[in-house]
Amino acid sequence: MQIRNTRVAYGWIAIALHWISAVGVVGLYLLGERMEAAAGRAEKLQAQHLHVSVAVLLFTFLLARLLWSASQPAPRPLERQRALRLAAKVVQGLFLLMIAALLITGPLVIWSAGRPIEVFDLFAIPSPFATRLDGLHEAAEEIHGAVTKLFWPLIVLHVAGALKHLLLNRDDTLRRMLWVRGAP
């Protein structure tokens, strides 16, 4: 399999970054749920620390994915129906907006509380704010929580589209995003 994308297929770097991002976003969602379900303050802070640390790590992969995608040709879409191509673009765009909103509001929740972002106890990203900003903190927390409500509907639409291509269209849309020998 080639490293770079072509107009026919994704390269292995795009495929790897896609699946790392997908697993990471699902993992972050589940860590966020664990954090919300935590019994006591100590357990909640421990879950938050893991959630935030993984988020910082995942940010590097998401940034790499965006930069790689911007530098590569996109394979031609295999969907023939214009409305379904548009729907796929809308779902993809909503995923990107959801992730961007979470990447902005997540750090703001911590920084607006006047705390640094601690990453796996290896380093800290200091808060740009000298004091606690209650209004910003509450707004960032509210937006962060609300945006996560988009997560499962978008996953369902994305998987439904992939299954449609696999089972109904019987085209290579899903196959070219999997790491399989002989992909076009």
Q: Which SS3 state, helix, strand or coil, does residue 117 take?
A: strand
Token pair for residue 134?
A: 């209650």
Q: Which SS3 state, helix, strand or coil, does residue 143 take?
A: helix
Domain borders along the chain are 12-177
- Give the pLDDT band (50/70/90) at residue 177: confident
Dump pLDDT digits (tens) for 111-166.
Answer: 999 999 999 999 999 999 999 999 999 999 999 999 999 999 999 999 999 899 88
**Structural element, H or E, at residue 123:** strand 123-125
- Give the pLDDT band (50/70/90) at residue 179: low
88 within 8 A of 174, measured Cβ to Cβ: no
What CA–CA distance (Å, rounded) separates 94 from 39?
Answer: 33
9-38 mean pLDDT: 94
Dump pLDDT digits (tens) for 98-112.
Answer: 999 999 999 999 999
What CA–CA distance (Å, rounded) separates 1 from 6?
Answer: 11
89 within 8 A of 77, measured Cβ to Cβ: no
- Give the pLDDT band (50/70/90) at residue 42: very high
- Residue among 157, 146, 158 at smallest CA distance from 32: 146
